[in-house]
Structure 1
Amino acid sequence: MLAIAAAVVFGIYLLLDLLDVQTSDLFNFNTFASLGLLLLSLYLAGVGSGPRAGTGSGRRFYGRRPGRG
């Protein structure tokens, strides 16, 4: 989810840059790059990735697993 948010931040900045929209000093390249890289680093660190395996979530297969010939 955080990777999607980072992609949205980078996409918004790309559109603003392509359309030559003048933004205030608050929303400049450094702000968008920092926010996008922060979201990507949180995603890669595993923050907000949902429940981990073994916590009772997911599918349980008893006996033969489907699709194993």
Structure 2
Amino acid sequence: MLAVAAAVLFGLALLFELVGISVQVITSTLLVTAGLFCLALYFAGVGSRQVTYRRRAHR
């Protein structure tokens, strides 16, 4: 999920850069930084859900 969010942010940054849009605080540099942050979290395993089921032997 974080990788998809990063891709969207990178796409928006590219669009902002190509068109030359800068909306007050939201610039292409901010979007690239946010995308890199999402990728860093994704590679660190923050957004991944790893469920491990253990079966206990009942006697």
Tell me which interval the TM-score lies in, with the shorter structure as reference length.
Answer: 0.7 to 0.9
Correspondence 1:13 to 2:16 = no
Residues 23, 14 of structure 1: CA spacing in aligned structure 2 closer, same or farther, 3 A cutoff? same
TM-score, reference length from structure 1: 0.64
- Shift of residue 48 of structure 1? 1.1
Q: CA RMSD in A?
A: 1.5
% same residue: 43
TM-score, reference length from structure 2: 0.73
Task: Give distance in 1, aligned partners of 2:29 and 2:15.
Answer: 16
Larger gyration radius, structure 1 or structure 2: 1
Match of 2:39 in 1: 40
Gaps (5+ residues) in structure 2? 54-59
Gaps (5+ residues) in structure 1? 57-69
- Shift of residue 35 of structure 1? 0.6
How many residues align? The count is: 53
Match of 1:28 in 2: 27
